[in-house]
């Protein structure tokens, strides 16, 4: 990948895809401002719905997700995936993890052979328990140097408002991560690099599951001790699984681990936390599902994460409680009793 006149396609015009495309367009403006004769990046956003795409092109706003928030006027959108992918050097994926495989099959014929693919997604595939980068590698047959992930404490709405935030760009090939960091760095978005793809992806997927549990606690009326306990033991659980899969434990105390966990578990903007909160407050699962219009990845990924734990001999008690509440009719009150009755243990994350 060359950084001269790079063309970047962002696929998925939901909350995070829209905001990330905006970050990249703002980053390109900043680069142009600093060096008017230097390379220019061009960003195109693919969305399914023509109403959203037309609004972005005509008003520089995504009215469905962020009414009233101005997007970069250079940001162009299209409903034509083939057109978005034409000549794209970097392809950024921002669709739900569970539909990605089918989406990639459709998009595969249009992708350039040497494109770099970047996942913004925080989930684990049902049925296969594959991380998103593994799905990409399998479907596109790309080498690891050309598959990266961006993750961190990135609640889309705050970044749409151009509030300062940080993230991690992870790729086992450091040079790719550094090049992407350059393309994604704006005045308000500061990406760090990492080569620990596994740690960054597991941190992102599991914080959604723990966010559901914290939301349930919130909905049940519990205070900060309960939530801090879930966050801390949730991080221990996340670290345990990530390390068993080959991650560096330090990644999990970084932005894509603790950082994202804290943001998700503290923020009313989090869809996962909000989902859990409604359940904890007494709504039925059906009611909460019907009210949730945007992707709350943890609901489905809790099952695939738990399977990943089983397959690797890793105990994931919070995840297990979430799975039982989300998929097996266990009430929050019953989950709490079972959780507190577990055998006493030392605090180390490894147990």
Ligand X SMILES: NC(=O)C1=CN([C@@H]2O[C@H](COP(=O)(O)OP(=O)(O)OC[C@H]3O[C@@H](n4cnc5c(N)ncnc54)[C@H](O)[C@@H]3O)[C@@H](O)[C@H]2O)C=CC1
Q: Which residues are annotated as a binding site for NADPH?
A: 15-16, 48-49, 65, 122, 156, 271, 297
CB 189 within 8 A of CB 252: no
C-alpha gyration radius of the chain = 20
Residue 155 is a binding residue for ligand 13P (CB under 6 A): yes
Q: Is 300 in the site for ligand 13P (CB under 6 A)?
A: no
Residue nearest to ligand X (CB): 14
Burial class (CB in 10 A: 0-12, 13-18, 19+), 102: exposed
Residues 242-271 that bind ligand 13P (CB under 6 A): 260, 263-264, 270-271
Residue from 154, 176, 238, 251 touching ligand 13P (CB under 6 A): that is 154
Check residue 97 for interaction with ligand 13P (CB under 6 A): no
> Given candidates 6, 8, 16, 210, which one binds ligand X under the rule CB under 6 A?
16
User: Does residue 146 touch ligand 13P according to CB under 6 A?
Assistant: no
Q: Which of residues 37-66 bind ligand 13P (CB under 6 A)?
A: none
Q: Which residues pair with 148 in a beta bridge?
A: 118
- In contact, 81 and 11? CB cutoff 8 Å: yes
Q: Considering the complex, what minimum distance in angstroms separates the CB of residue 272 from ligand 13P?
A: 3
* Beta strands 116-119 and 189-194, pairing class: unpaired
- Based on the residue annotation, tell me whether 324 is a catalytic residue of this protein: no
Token representation of residue 59: 């008003």
| Distance separating alpha carbons of residues 132 and 155, to the nearest angstrom | 19
Alpha-carbon distances of 232 from 13, 261, 262, 313, rounded to whole Å: 33, 9, 10, 21
From the list 13-21, 23-31, 211-219, 308-316, the region that binds ligand X by CB under 6 A is 13-21
Site for ligand X in 84-113 (CB under 6 A): 94-97, 99, 103
Q: Where are the alpha helices (DSSP H) in 185-296?
A: 197-219, 224-244, 260-266, 271-280, 285-291
Report residue 321 as tokens: 């409680």
Interaction between residue 62 and ligand X (CB under 6 A): no
Q: Six-digit token pair at 234?
A: 């949730």
Is the CB of residue 183 less than 8 Å from the CB of residue 3?
Answer: yes
Under the binding rule (CB under 6 A), the answer on residue 98 touching ligand 13P is no
- Interaction between residue 203 and ligand X (CB under 6 A): no
Q: Which is nearer to ligand X, 56 or 216 (CB)?
A: 56
Q: Which of residues 117-136 bind ligand X (CB under 6 A)?
A: 120-123
Binding residues for substrate: 122, 271-272
Q: Does 22 bind ligand 13P (CB under 6 A)?
A: no
Residues classed as catalytic: 207
The site for ligand 13P (CB under 6 A) is made up of 122, 153-155, 208, 211, 260, 263-264, 270-272
């Amino acid at each position: 990948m060359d950084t001269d006149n790079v063309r970047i396609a962002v696929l998925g015009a939901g909350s995070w895809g829209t905001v990330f495309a905006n970050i990249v367009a703002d980053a390109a403006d900043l680069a142009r401002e600093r060096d008017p004769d230097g390379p220019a990046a061009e960003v195109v956003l693919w969305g399914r719905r023509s109403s959203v795409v037309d609004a972005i092109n005509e008003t520089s706003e995504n009215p469905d997700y962020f009414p009233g928030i101005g997007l970069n006027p250079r940001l162009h959108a299209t409903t034509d995936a083939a057109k978005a992918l034409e000549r794209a050097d970097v392809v950024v994926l921002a669709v739900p993890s569970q539909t990605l495989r089918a989406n990639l099959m459709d998009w595969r014929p249009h992708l350039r052979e040497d494109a770099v693919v970047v996942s913004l997604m925080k989930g684990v595939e049902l049925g296969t328990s594959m991380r998103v980068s593994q799905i990409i590698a399998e479907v596109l047959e790309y080498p690891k140097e050309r598959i990266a992930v961006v993750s961190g404490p990135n609640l889309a709405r705050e970044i749409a408002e151009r509030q300062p935030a940080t993230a991690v760009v992870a790729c086992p090939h450091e040079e790719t991560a550094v090049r992407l960091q350059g393309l994604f760095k704006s005045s308000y978005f500061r990406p760090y690099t990492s080569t620990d793809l596994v740690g960054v992806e597991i941190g992102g997927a599991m914080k959604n599951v723990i966010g559901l549990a914290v939301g349930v606690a919130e909905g049940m009326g519990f205070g900060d001790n309960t939530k801090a306990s879930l966050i801390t033991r949730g991080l221990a659980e996340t670290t345990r699984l990530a390390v068993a899969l080959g991650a560096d434990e330090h990644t999990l105390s970084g932005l894509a681990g603790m950082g994202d966990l804290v943001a998700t578990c503290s923020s009313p903007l989090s869809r996962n936390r909000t989902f859990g909160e409604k359940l904890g407050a007494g709504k039925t699962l059906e009611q909460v599902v019907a009210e949730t219009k945007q992707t709350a990845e943890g609901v489905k990924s809790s099952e695939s994460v738990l399977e990943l734990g089983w397959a690797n001999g890793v105990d994931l008690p919070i995840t297990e409680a979430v799975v039982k509440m989300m998929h097996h009719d266990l009430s929050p009150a019953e989950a709490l009793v079972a959780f507190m009755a577990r055998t006493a243990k030392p605090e180390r994350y490894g147990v």
